[in-house]
A and B are shown apart, each in its own frame.
Chain A
Amino acid sequence: MRMSLLPAVIGFVFLAPAASAQVNVTNTCPADAPVAVNPGAVPKGAQSLVATVTNRGPKPITGVILAWRVTDSKGAFYVEHSTIDYAPSGILFEPGKSAEADVDLSFQQGRTLQAVEVTCLAVLYQGKGVWGDAKAPEVARLRAVRQGIAAERKRLLGIYTREGISRLADELNRPVVR
């Protein structure tokens, strides 16, 4: 009996502090959202966080925007947004697939991470379809970024074609999703 309790006691002594050194993470992404967000466990000293985003389906997705509220030990909170945009890649975020979204957890010196809250702000489909807050500035911003990337690709394609650099032109000729 005594022998069987010993590993449990040792485990409690070593694992209990490790378990308590994690930050409270709240996930408010609705259950009926087209994506599931899993931020995982966040250690107290973490400087960044990678959350896993899964397309629940049924439609393929072109972009996901997550909103974060990161609070430090003095109560200051930072609003952050993570964007994953498949549009320039030419591939779609298909149902059942997962992607990773990063978030920064750095603070002013002397402060520590207190809490993290995540929600899914918007999901963009092909065309103009949007789930979530379609009027959020971040959605308009992502569309503007897409436009900028497309315009720059077009400009470079013109240069590479004119200069006869076919290898680079081929790279820019690959399809994009919108």
Chain B
Amino acid sequence: MLITVANGPPAWEYNAVFKKPHLAVYIVIATFFCCFSVAAVSDNKDKPISGCHPILMILGDDQDPSFGTDCTQCIDCTVHTAELSCSASATCSDDSINCTESEKCPILSCNCGQVNGSCDCECTGNGVECSWTDSKGIFHEITKNCPDNLP
């Protein structure tokens, strides 16, 4: 049965007229949220980087590696490459520090000992280098080489 409205179109025609703008609004909103979500995910810099240990992402105010960096891990890749895309067995792209080599190093930590302040530690492929400047401006450095006579 066709229902008619006085001075207006039939009900099905009425709905059809107003359905179109509603649908367009839904599409616009859905598109907006979809794009926003994709952008938010791709912008999320805190997400874990595949292959790199979380501790490697802890950087100081000046973007230098912090205390206690592990010689067995690929610290230099994360410091020196913008992409943070290295893995523990990867070779760093820009400074040619081979993290596989440093994994052979049995030095488990770079112990900066009495340091009161920032300390930079780097794996060298055959050991570790730590340096810092004390409160008087005196520069200190420890270099430690992996032993050649490992069993």
Q: Report A's interface with B, CB cutoff 8 A.
A: 47-50, 74-91, 99-109, 111, 138, 145, 149
Q: Which of B133, B140, B145 contacts A78 (CB 8 A)?
A: B145
Contact with A along B134-146 (1 / 0, CB 8 A): 0011111111111
- Knowing A76-B151, A102-B114, A109-B108 are in contact, say whether A91-B136 is a contact too (CB < 8 A): yes
- Chain A residue numbers with a CB within 8 Å of B106 are 76, 107-108, 111
Contact B111 A48 (CB under 8 A): yes
Jot down 28 A-B pairs with beta carbons below 8 A, ordered by A. Answer: A48-B111, A48-B114, A76-B106, A77-B147, A77-B149, A78-B127, A78-B146, A78-B147, A81-B142, A81-B143, A82-B140, A82-B141, A83-B139, A83-B140, A84-B138, A84-B140, A86-B138, A100-B114, A101-B140, A102-B115, A102-B140, A104-B110, A104-B142, A108-B106, A108-B107, A109-B108, A145-B131, A145-B139
Chain B interface size band reads 20 to 34
- Chain A residue numbers with a CB within 8 Å of B144 are 78-80, 104
- In the bound complex, how far is the Cα of B110 from the Cα of A78, in angstroms? 13
> Measured between C-beta atoms, what is the minimum distance from B98 to chain A in Å?
20
- Chain B residue numbers with a CB within 8 Å of A107 are 106-108
- Knowing A77-B147, A77-B149, A89-B136 are in contact, say whether A145-B141 is a contact too (CB < 8 A): yes
> Measured between C-beta atoms, what is the minimum distance from A42 to chain B in Å?
13
- In the bound complex, how far is the Cα of B128 from the Cα of A149, in angstroms? 20
- Chain A residue numbers with a CB within 8 Å of B133 are 88
Task: Beyond the given A80-B145, A81-B143, A91-B138, please list 10 additional residue pairs across the A-B interface where CB-CB is below 8 A.
Answer: A83-B139, A89-B136, A101-B140, A102-B112, A102-B115, A102-B142, A104-B111, A105-B111, A106-B108, A145-B139
